[in-house]
Amino acid sequence: MYSTACPSCGAPVSFKSAASVMAVCEYCRATLVREADAVRDIGKMSAVLEDYSPIRITTQGVFEGRSFAVVGRIQLRYEAGYWNEWYVLFDDGQGGWLSDASGQYTLTVDIGPASDAPVFEVLKPGQPYLHDGEVFTAADIRSAQCTGGEGELPFRVGEGWEARVADFRQRRRFLTLDYSDGLTPLRYLGTAVDLDSLKCQLLRSDEEIVHRAGRLRGRIASLECPGCGGPLAYPAGVATQLVCPACGTRSDLTGDQAVVLGKQRELKSHTVSLELGAQARIGGQSYTLIGMMRCQEAGETGFWTEYLLYSPRKGFLWLVESEDGWERVQVLDDWPVPAPSSNSAVRLGGQNFQKKVSYRSVVRYAAGAFNWQVKAGDTVGITDWQAGRDKLTQEFSDAELVWSRAVPVSQGEIDGWFGRTSKSATGAAKAGPKGESGGGLGVMAKYFSGAYLFFNLPITLFADGSWILTLIGLALLWWPVISNASGND
Ligand SMILES: [Zn+2]
Ligand SMILES: [Zn+2]
């Protein structure tokens, strides 16, 4: 470890890693570049946006049997959001990155330069890259701007520094090619992780996160629509874009406040089975319906609706409603691999999925909160792969490739998950006044049948045959309630 005094404020500054070339002074935010046995102040580093990440400098953990400590971080912003890259130092001096993108974590370690990598400009999602005998597939290609940093870092980074990265995936493994520093990219290898599996210690507590960020990640917060002033609900630290259901204004939520991005021309004219804000209980977890999209196959006339649900514990889930019924759709962390001896099938969890159809899907209408930027007219390429009732879907855009799995769901299951907030509930809500009067009648009938029994109890008990009259009396009292309830259905 190398320690010195900050040339700007005199506070102690240390470099724990021999590979670190830069550190940000904790006290005055001076960016200090290490040169031989001295440090040079190259100006102030922007402060990081205080967000919901439970990770901090000093957080420790274990990855694949090796202990690491977090020593620095950079925040990166791209057009659809931002994420944190935490620089970690392993006990043996190797460096790595623990990435936190709205609670999706990956840990990758530096495995040296990739002289065989294609140039950044020609990379496309879906492109293969062979590493160590395994085919990795390009999943995500993006350029991002560094907007802030802290702690020590393995390269010089400052305001306006641009990261150019491509993430490749193979099953659960990640391989990142980082083109930020020159022509030969650096290669990082790792997996998707969660903080429990990393046995993380010295994380920020919930109280600290609330104190610094205002609330916890995933909690439903609300703000006024910058277009019409109406209330908009969104999960804090998770949603990056809001589309106002009342006026169609699209706002960006990635900064400190909502920034207007544009306006959607089409307003909701269709009826939907589920409404924004609806609560569901699925698999023992609470979900909130935060967004919906109405989509159409390019060149076709039919529509389907996609509902985005969020659970602070389980993350995102999609419910898709089409003329074929309902599907529950989950984005896959474990990617399928090409099936052996077939070029029209992929394999996942011991099952072969046959390639079925490819088409283009167009968003016609969107409302609510989303974790990416969506607008009417957005188009993605889709390929469906089928195994019995199970379906895998591959979704391509210019920057991303996503795999998800869809399973059919019955209307009964949907109704069960949402209580009475689905189709049947909409009917009940429309029949509100009638339902209320039914409720009133019910109360009255209960009161009167109670009184009836009270006054007739001695006769019911002691006089032979009078219990039949009692039953008839009760039936007459309850009749308006029973007929009213059946009228509602
Ligand atoms: Zn300083
Ligand atoms: Zn609005």
The pLDDT tens digits of the residues spanning 195-229 come to: 999 999 999 998 888 888 888 888 888 899 999 99
Residues in the chain: 489
- Confidence at 418, pLDDT banded by 50, 70, 90: very high
- The whole-number average pLDDT for the span 417-434 is 49
Distance 244 CA to ligand 2 centre (A): 5
Reported confidence tier of residue 436, pLDDT bands at 50, 70, 90: very low
CA distances (Å), 413 to each of 316, 326, 327, 418, in order?
18, 10, 11, 9
476 falls in which pLDDT band (50, 70, 90)? low
| Confidence band for 475, pLDDT divided at 50, 70 and 90 | low
Inform me whether the pLDDT recorded for 147 exceeds 50: yes
Q: Where are the domains of the chain?
A: 2-212, 255-428, 431-488
Instruction: Say yes or no to pLDDT of 335 above 80.
Output: yes
Higher pLDDT, 429 or 76: 76
Residue 478 pLDDT:
53
Residue 284 confidence (pLDDT) above 50 = yes
* Distance of CA 256 from the midpoint of ligand 2 (Å): 19
CA of 5 from ligand 1 middle (Å) equals 8
Nearest ligand to the CA of 228 is: 2
pLDDT band at 272 (very low <50, low <70, confident <90, very high): confident
Distance in Å, CA 152 to ligand 1 centroid = 13
Q: How far is CA 464 from CA 43, 78, 467, 468, in A?
A: 101, 85, 8, 9
The whole-chain average pLDDT of the chain stands at 84
CA of 103 to the centre of ligand 2 (A): 28
* Phi, psi of 199, rounded to the nearest 5 degrees: 50, 50
State the Cα–Cα distance between residues 189 and 96, nearest whole angstrom.
Answer: 9
Angle at 435 between CA 430 and CA 436, to 5 degrees: 115
Confidence (pLDDT) at 369: 94
Closest ligand to C-alpha of residue 227 is: 2
Say if residues 207 and 65 touch (Cβ distance below 8 Å).
no
**Taking ligand 1, which is a single-atom ion, which protein residues have CB atoms under 5 Å away?**
6, 8-9, 11, 25, 27-28, 30
Q: Which residue has the higher pLDDT, 367 or 433?
A: 367
Separation of first and last alpha carbons in the chain:
74
Q: Is the pLDDT of residue 428 over 70?
A: no
**Nearest bound ligand to the CA of residue 263:** 2
Cα 258 to ligand 2 centroid, rounded to whole Å: 12
